[in-house]
Amino acid sequence: MPSTERRTRRARRIRPSLPAVAAVCVAALLCGGCAAKASAHHTPAGAKETAADTAKGAAAAGPATSIEQIATAIGCTAEVNVEAEELRQGGCEAGQVIYRMVTFAAEQGLHSWLTEARMYGGIYLVGDRWVVTAQTQEALTTLRGRLGGELQTGETHGGTHGGTDGKTDGKPEGGTGGETHEGGHSGQ
């Protein structure tokens, strides 16, 4: 391969896809979110859809709440660690509570993120193109009083997350029964 072709390939900018970026953010946010107990009654993630949820693109939805505005409501200074075209992710600490937050450029990004996050369990405070996680339900409930949004829970998954040992009754909620999940993450 000629050296100019190699340099050209190295110089190409790698642009991660929205699902890949969302998956990384889900994993980072859930470091604090899995510790939360899902003992109270919450709306399952993605259960409600409004007309605003179907709007595509940031221009149609208007300006969104920023990470800095969320941090102000929490009473901390946000440290932004991911800045991409599709989303911004950051976190902060207030007292003994660590918060993780993500804002999205479009409603579709939020829905994609929630779809990925549901399998990990946890509790989320979800607003218009933003999500906040914390270690406790109480912290998110308090923040909800200041910031608004809706508390949602992911599906518990496995004994370490407070659920079952990965076994279902053969017919998962919303499923047809053909996709049982017995024994572990491989589904076998």
The mean per-residue pLDDT over the stretch 134-156 comes to 92
Q: Quick one: average pLDDT of 34-53? A: 40
pTM greater than 0.85 = no
Q: Residue 165: is its pLDDT beyond 60? A: no
Q: Is 12 inside a domain boundary?
A: no
Q: What is the pLDDT of residue 34?
A: 41
Q: Is 76 exposed, middle or buried (0-12, 13-18, 19+ CB in 10 A)?
A: middle
- Tokens encoding 98: 């660590």
Assess whether pLDDT exceeds 50 at residue 59: no
**175, part of any domain:** no
Residue 105 lies in a domain: yes
Length of the chain: 188
Distance, in Å, from the CA atom of 116 to the CA atom of 110, rounded to the nearest integer, reads 10
- pLDDT at residue number 115: 92
pLDDT at 80 over 60: yes
What's the mean pLDDT in 81-92?
Answer: 95
Mean residue pLDDT across the chain:
68
**Which residue segment(s) compose the domain that 95 sits in?**
38-45+65-164
Contact criterion met (CB below 8 Å) for 117 and 29: yes
What pLDDT is attached to residue 52?
39
Domain for residue 20, yes or no?
A: no
The rounded distance, in Å, linking the Cα atoms of 53 and 91 is 25
